[in-house]
Amino acid sequence: MVHKNFAMALLAATVGACSQIPNKDTPPERESIPAQETSNALNTDTPTLVATEEPLPLEDMWDRLRRGFQLNHHTGDPKVQDYIAYFSRNEGYMARVTQRARRYIFHVTEALDQANMPLELALLPIVESAYDPFAYSHARASGMWQFIPSTGRSLGLQQNWWYDGRRDIHESTHAAVKYFNYLSERFDGDWELVLAAYNSGEGTVRRAIERNRRKGLGTSFWELKLPRETRHYIPQLLALAEVVSRPEHYKVPLHDVADQPYYARVDVGSQIDLAQAADLAEIEIEELYLLNPGYNRWATDPNGNHQLLIPIDKQEQFESALKLLPEDQRVTWQQYTIVRGDTLSTIARDYQTTVSAIREANKLRNNKIRAGKTLLIPSASGPAGHYAYALDQRVRHRQSQGHGQKTHYTVKPGDSLWAIARRLKVSVKTLASWNNMAPSDTLRPGRVLVSYDSTPDKNNRTTRKVSYKVRSGDSLYRIASKFSLRIDDILRWNKLTKSKYLQPGQRLTLFVDSAGQTR
């Protein structure tokens, strides 16, 4: 996660080429085929042979990354070794996360390559978000690169009801490169310090360096006293790079990813219903959302830049179909007759749009409306469930994931998440997680929160307390699946965090429903 409070000077900083760090671990370049020797070419007694060269196979993305690795992977460091071992025994995770990266990693690599940066950075979204563009953390960090709201805004990433640039694949990647450039200039091209600052903040790293200088100690990343998360952050990335360098050696499967573009960026020119855009491109709407996760709702931002990422093999089809569709037919319009008591905000909420969109569509100068008048309302063309990746649908899905008795709570003026959690007898973190929010998010009166009573029922004869001994290769996911449990419940029962790795021989307390258990 990117914790940062860097100066506004970033916005005025000149984007320059970053220093490169020699790396003894960088794989050697492939040997070039030697040219035919001159003596042979001049020897008339030797018959001339015409060689027919077979085309070399196309390299995949992992080959390209290896050639662009620049960092020392510090494979002798104990933390790096621990993470190498972790990735080696969790081959399923590596297969899944590299499969998820297939849409994005070429374009991330292109942006880093153009900025002359170490291509190890293309693996950073695995550490940050497991390459999930919808990832949202307890600290309000969002997107593949996990920018918090303030840093996103300082990097030019717009955030509003319709759109969140922190999740926009293209925009957030270029913002990340811009931020890397800024940090590289501040830390003289020391990429380990750059990464530490990306994770914990520039000020945190600077203060740690100054402390060591006063004590006459070294100022490399490995010698600084930094937050625990940061001390593990760089070793995790270096371990990933090492595993990608030699996947056969570490027996880690990497999903095949071609070294070629996955998507093209198309300027739509106006607001468009995402379901309609998917139909024009002849793709599933899920695919469109996965390429355009920055859009929070059923349509693009009416006041945005109107850029859509489309699978490159569908670009021509999409652009041709789009030309035949007039701008005023790219969203569905409904006529609504205003009744007494209506306000623009209540109408906007009912139709999943915004007051500004209604005002713009109806050329209203202010928010005043009169009963009996008719409004044109932009609305989704399909049912709500069709837009499963829209923000409100993701929240509803998350709210349905709990176990136990479900409780609804309507936020009142003056409420805080802490007070509500205390009233419902759950932790703030758990309540926030159930409602797809961060503990520090602002609560608005009228919002409905859900909570679950997931306390183990000790009077239930089918529920039994189990002491489980962690085995080699175990993970929280594997244990939760084995006993049909939620990972959050296992963490809560054992007072663990997701960042703490399980160790073979460790004992976990589980409350297992033996009637429904499957092994």
In this structure, are 313 and 343 located in the same domain?
no
Nearest partner of 171 among 292, 339, 4, judged by Cα: 292
In this structure, are 276 and 245 located in the same domain?
no
We report the CATH number of the domain holding residue 448 as 3.10.350.10
**Helices 78-89, 228-245: crossing angle, 10 deg rounding:** 60
Q: List beta partners, residue 295.
A: 163
DSSP states along 287-326 = HHHHH-TTB-SSB--TTS--EEEEEGGGHHHHHHHHHTS-
In this structure, are 356 and 502 located in the same domain?
no
Inter-residue contact 259 to 64 (CB < 8 Å) = yes
**Helices 191-200, 169-186: crossing angle, 10 deg rounding:** 120
In this structure, are 359 and 405 located in the same domain?
no
Sign (positive/negative) of CA torsion 335, 340, 344, 346?
Answer: negative
Nearest partner of 269 among 195, 326, 349, judged by Cα: 326
We report the CATH number of the domain holding residue 79 as 1.10.530.10
Inter-residue contact 332 to 379 (CB < 8 Å) = yes
Residue found by looking up tokens 């926009």 in the block: 168
Domain that holds residue 209: 9-25+58-250
* Entry field: residues in the chain: 519
Tens digit of pLDDT for each residue in 235-293?
Answer: 999 999 999 999 999 999 899 999 999 999 999 998 898 889 999 999 998 899 999 99
Nearest partner of 263 among 287, 286, 294, 279, judged by Cα: 287
Examine residue 443 and state whether it is found in any structural domain, yes or no.
yes
Examine residue 385 and state whether it is found in any structural domain, yes or no.
no
Whether the model pTM is above 0.95:
no
Nearest partner of 423 among 413, 438, 441, 411, judged by Cα: 411
Residues of the chain with pLDDT under 50: 4-57, 457-462, 514-519
Looking at residue 53, what is its pLDDT? 47
Distances (CA, A) of 58 to 92, 241, 259, 311, 330: 26, 21, 8, 20, 40
Looking at residue 91, what is its pLDDT? 83
In this structure, are 184 and 154 located in the same domain?
yes
In this structure, are 185 and 223 located in the same domain?
yes
Task: Report d(CA 9, CA 185) in Å as an integer.
Answer: 12
Looking at residue 415, what is its pLDDT? 83
In this structure, are 447 and 467 located in the same domain?
no
**From the CB of residue 231, how many other CB atoms can be counted at a distance below 10 Å?**
17
Looking at residue 277, what is its pLDDT? 92
Examine residue 32 and state whether it is found in any structural domain, yes or no.
no
Could you tell me how far CA 363 lies from the centroid of its own chain? 38
Tens digit of pLDDT for each residue in 34-91?
Answer: 222 223 332 333 333 334 444 444 579 999 999 999 999 999 999 999 999 999 988 8
DSSP states along 15-60 = --PPPP---TTSPPPPPPPPPPPHHHHH-TTSPPP---PPPPPPPB
Nearest partner of 210 among 191, 193, 198, judged by Cα: 193
In this structure, are 197 and 236 located in the same domain?
yes
R_g of the chain, CA atoms, integer Å:
27
332: Cβ contacts below 8 Å, ≥ 6 apart: 273, 378, 379, 380, 381
Half-sphere exposure of residue 91: CA atoms within 13 angstroms, side-chain side: 10
In this structure, are 268 and 354 located in the same domain?
no
Examine residue 36 and state whether it is found in any structural domain, yes or no.
no
Q: Which amino acid is at 147?
A: F
Examine residue 146 and state whether it is found in any structural domain, yes or no.
yes
Task: Report d(CA 186, CA 385) in Å as an integer.
Answer: 47
Examine residue 503 and state whether it is found in any structural domain, yes or no.
yes
Looking at residue 459, what is its pLDDT? 47
Examine residue 121 and state whether it is found in any structural domain, yes or no.
yes
Task: Report d(CA 503, CA 303) in Å as an integer.
Answer: 51
Task: Report d(CA 34, CA 49) in Å as an integer.
Answer: 15
Task: Let me know if 284 is a catalytic residue.
Answer: no
Looking at residue 351, what is its pLDDT? 79
What is the number of structural domains in the chain? 5
Q: Active-site residue among 120, 128, 171, 202?
A: 128
Examine residue 192 and state whether it is found in any structural domain, yes or no.
yes
In this structure, are 99 and 196 located in the same domain?
yes
In this structure, are 201 and 98 located in the same domain?
yes
Residue found by looking up tokens 């932790």 in the block: 427
In this structure, are 62 and 174 located in the same domain?
yes
Q: List beta partners, residue 450.
A: 408
Task: Report d(CA 485, CA 208) in Å as an integer.
Answer: 41
Give CB contacts under 8 A, 24+ apart, made by 160-165.
Answer: 160/301, 161/296, 161/297, 161/354, 162/295, 162/296, 162/297, 162/299, 162/300, 162/301, 162/302, 162/303, 162/304, 162/354, 163/294, 163/295, 163/296, 163/300, 163/301, 163/304, 164/294, 164/296, 165/294
Task: Report d(CA 333, CA 381) in Å as an integer.
Answer: 9
Q: Report residue 56: phi and psi, to 5°.
A: -70, 145
Looking at residue 475, what is its pLDDT? 81
Task: Report d(CA 480, CA 339) in Å as an integer.
Answer: 51
Boundary residue ending a domain (319, 346, 380): 380
Task: Report d(CA 313, CA 211) in Å as an integer.
Answer: 54
